[in-house]
Structure 1
Amino acid sequence: MNKVGLLTIHDTLNFGSLFQTYGLYKAIEELGYDITLIDYKNTAITEREKTYRLNEVHTVKELYKAFFHHHFLEAKHINFWGFINDNMKVSEPYYSSSIKKANDLFDTFVVGSDIVWGMEITGYDLNYMLEFAEESKKKVSFSSSVGTRWPKEYDERVKKLLSRFDSICVREQLAQKWINELLPGKQVIETCDPTMLWNKETLWGQFNNTELVPQKKYILIYLKTDDNRTVMDAIAYGKKHGLPVYNINYFHSIPGVKNIRPTNVPQWISWFANAEVIFTASYHGIMFSLYFEKQFFWYSRANSARTESLSKELHIQNREGNKENIEKDIKIDYNVTNKAIESKRELSWSALKAIL
């Protein structure tokens, strides 16, 4: 049986990263492949995702986080790895100095999804473009995201590495454009985030537990904008409709909302699945609001073009979080939106089958 190694951003404290890993792993497994999650330890990601144990602290700011936030972050870390080990086959840990050993175990390398090709995220680690993989190995990407374009001085190295791929699927049109600028003859297919390969009936709904959340209607905030507009709009909406506002937030409490800190998958899913309205500046916040057919308002943070493109594709432009849209509060027509999601889902399943 063809042995597949999945390389992605999995060792994080971000639920979206965990879910995209799980979604793609389950899809490849569903297609009958012997798949293993490659436990690659990227230095930049490990530093960014630390839980602020005392032996990791180097500044006064980090010391503050160690005393006041470590408990919740460490609980997330433990629960994330519990979920990974319970649901996926995982390789031994690899580092940049040892990742070439993975060539001995796998016939095919799949890289994606998440911002695996975002060099500001990975610390310019080209192993996410399979630099370590031998020429004889099959190399494919599925829904890989770039985020911010790599620096011009990396063009030749990126071109050389991506030209070795047997198939390339990316998550956004911009990534497709940037790659085709380097490799005009290369077919680059836009596919959905791996979480979208499944819906609440086939995968995500099994984690919903109504006993974990309030039994009365509530508003949920997931990831605020830098100017706090997400929070202010949610508070105003809550006052208008007489609903309490809960904010998923592991750091400083924000006045006017109730801080919540879900540390495992059922908790996080349940808060989304049972919310009355959601305010989110998170890509995966949008995704899971859609999967559970929630009314929500979305906001852009860094990459507004990506979010705006997604909103047009899924017919949710009028749910962008601005004063006019919030006042009108025109509900999402899920008969229309679900058809768009299903079309993208079917195309992406077909692409995944073809590239493997």
Structure 2
Amino acid sequence: MKKVGIMSMQRIANYGSFLQAYGLKSLIEELGCAVEFVDYHVGSPLIDSDVKNQNPFTRKIGKGLETFKYKAPLKHKFEFIKYKQQYAKKYMPLLGISENMNYNPKLDCLVIGSDEVFNCIQKNTNVGYSLELFGKDNKANTLISYAASFGNTTVQKIEKYHKTEELGNLLNQFDAISVRDNNSGSIVSTISSKTPVYHLDPVLTYDYMHKCKDIPEMDIKEKYLILYAYSGRITEQEADWIQAYAKKKKLKVYAIGGIQKCADRFIDCSPFEVLAYFKNAQEIITDTFHGSIFSIINHKPFTTIIRKSVGDSYGNEEKLSDLLKRLNLADRMTTDIETVQTINSKMPDYSNTDSIIASYRKQAKEYLTTNIVGDVNE
């Protein structure tokens, strides 16, 4: 039995990070492999931030205090802090992850991905600039990536911080490179000699809604709209509009993943329960990559809010635009909250989207089988 490691964002307290990790693990286990998660040493971020040099305890306290700065019901703020504090203890064991770090194990194959594992030019102190995410010092016989993303790191940012040669040399050591978006593919092609292939995120590639037995059935009496966004990213104007819109449609607003000013409830639940909540929702508003995917696999009317990158600030347009265009769902995107009413009034053509996803699933299975097992017919 092949011993395969996955190096991803599996320890990040985030539903999307969990479900993509679980999905990729499941896909590889279907090939008859033993799978374990591999950790990387967090590096110092290349972009300075106010918390860059703080110790972990100080950062944790700061995060807790930051929650109280957001405009949201006080009850939701306490619920959110509790959710964050308990997340790792409750959900990491479901991935087979313990508190003990698993650095540089000997493996038949190391798979780096999915998620923004290549997003190296950013402020996130939970990741920083870690070359282990590019395969440095690994002890695997084979090194590949799967649906890896550079996020909003661009060629221009890599050049600005003089990392082109270093990253290019590491990418050249991969046996195969799979990315999930055009920006990432363009970077790989530009700074290395590798030709990347494109695959969908594991939450789309693994057939959660038909294969995963951990998604519960829910009997929720009231009708609701899910607002899936991180705390602080929905503007006051957007929140006020969403609140009025939901009231007009007689829907409660369920905030998942973050606290929101306009929410009737903050939902603290397991990653698998998130998919159940999406399944029962009337509609969804999100500005996240995985919020869009959760909507798609549950065949729901949804709108994705696109955020533009400005300087070193957060932006989601690279990954979200690519995803929705790839699935022929570009009409679900907007930069104007008031267009949600028009967008969500129309159901996407999911028969077409499902056909596209089915084709990508076949390609992903062939890629993983060929590069991990070694025989595409197995």
> What range describes the TM-score normalised by the shorter chain of this pair?
0.7 to 0.9
Is 2:316 the counterpart of 1:303?
A: yes
Matches within 5 A, 1:27-176: 27-40=27-40, 42=42, 56-57=60-61, 61=65, 68=78, 69-85=80-96, 92-94=100-102, 99-100=103-104, 102=105, 105-119=106-120, 120=122, 121=124, 122-134=127-139, 137-147=141-151, 148-149=153-154, 151-152=158-159, 153-176=162-185
Is residue 341 of structure 2 the alignment partner of residue 326 of structure 1? yes
Q: Is the 8 A contact 1:318 1:330 kept in 2?
A: no
Note if contact 2:15-2:257 (Cα within 8 Å) is conserved in structure 1: no
The answer as to whether partners of 1:142 and 1:191 remain within 8 angstroms in 2 is yes
Q: What code does the residue aligned with 1:145 have?
A: S
From the superposition, tell whether residues 249 and 258 of structure 1 become closer, same or farther in structure 2 (CA, over 3 Å).
Answer: farther
Task: Give the structure 2 partner of residue 238 of structure 1.
Answer: 246
1:259 aligns with 2:265: yes
Matched position secondary structure for 1:131: coil
Q: CA RMSD in A?
A: 3.0
Q: Which has the higher contact order (CA 8 A, sep 6+)?
A: 2
Q: 1:334 to 1:205 in 2, by over 3 A?
A: farther
Provide the identity percentage.
24
In structure 2, relative to structure 1, the CA distance for the partners of 1:305 and 1:229 (3 Å cut) is: farther
Residues 23-46 of structure 1 deviation map (CA, whole Å, 9 limit, x = unaligned): 11111111111221124453679x
TM-score normalized by the length of structure 2: 0.79
Q: Which amino acid aligns with 2:168?
A: K
| Change in CA separation of 1:232 and 1:342 when aligned onto 2, cut-off 3 Å | farther
Which aligned pairs between 1:187-226 and structure 2 lie closer than 5 A? Answer: 187-204=195-212, 206-211=214-219, 214-223=220-229, 225-226=233-234
Alignment partner, residue 10 of structure 1: 10
**SS of the residue aligned with 2:114?**
coil
Change in Cα spacing, 1:70 to 1:238, as seen in structure 2 (3 Å) is closer
Quote the residue 1:20 is aligned against. 20
CA distance in 2 between counterparts of 1:232 and 1:249 reads: 19
- For residues 247-294 of structure 1, give each alpha carbon's deviation from its aligned partner in whole angstroms, at most 9, with x where no partner exists: 22555x51x421313242243222211100000111000101111111
Deviations 1:192-218 (A, max 9, x none): 10111222443346413314xx32221
Q: Deviation at 1:235?
A: 2.4
Correspondence 1:349 to 2:365: yes
Alpha-carbon distance in 1 for matches of 2:59, 2:166: 37
Contact residue 37 and residue 91 of structure 1 kept, 8 A:
no
Q: Report the secondary structure of 1:315's partner residue.
A: coil
- Normalized per residue, the structure richer in helix is 1
Over 3 Å counting, the alpha-carbon distance change for 1:220 and 1:188 in structure 2 is same
| Pairs aligned (count) | 336
Is residue 54–residue 63 contact of structure 1 (8 Å, CA) maintained in 2?
A: no
> Where does structure 1 lack aligned partners over 5 or more consecutive residues?
none
Shift of 1:111: 0.6
Relative to structure 1, the CA distance from residue 334 to residue 60 in structure 2 (aligned partners, 3 Å threshold; closer, same or farther) is closer
Q: Structure 1 counterpart of 2:23, which letter? A: G
**How far off is 1:345 after superposition?**
2.0
Residues 98-145 of structure 1, C-alpha deviations (whole Å, 9 max, x = no match): x34x2xx312211101111111242111010111125x7311111111
Distance change (3 Å), C-alpha of 1:132 and 1:192: same
Moved more, 339-348 or 232-241: 232-241
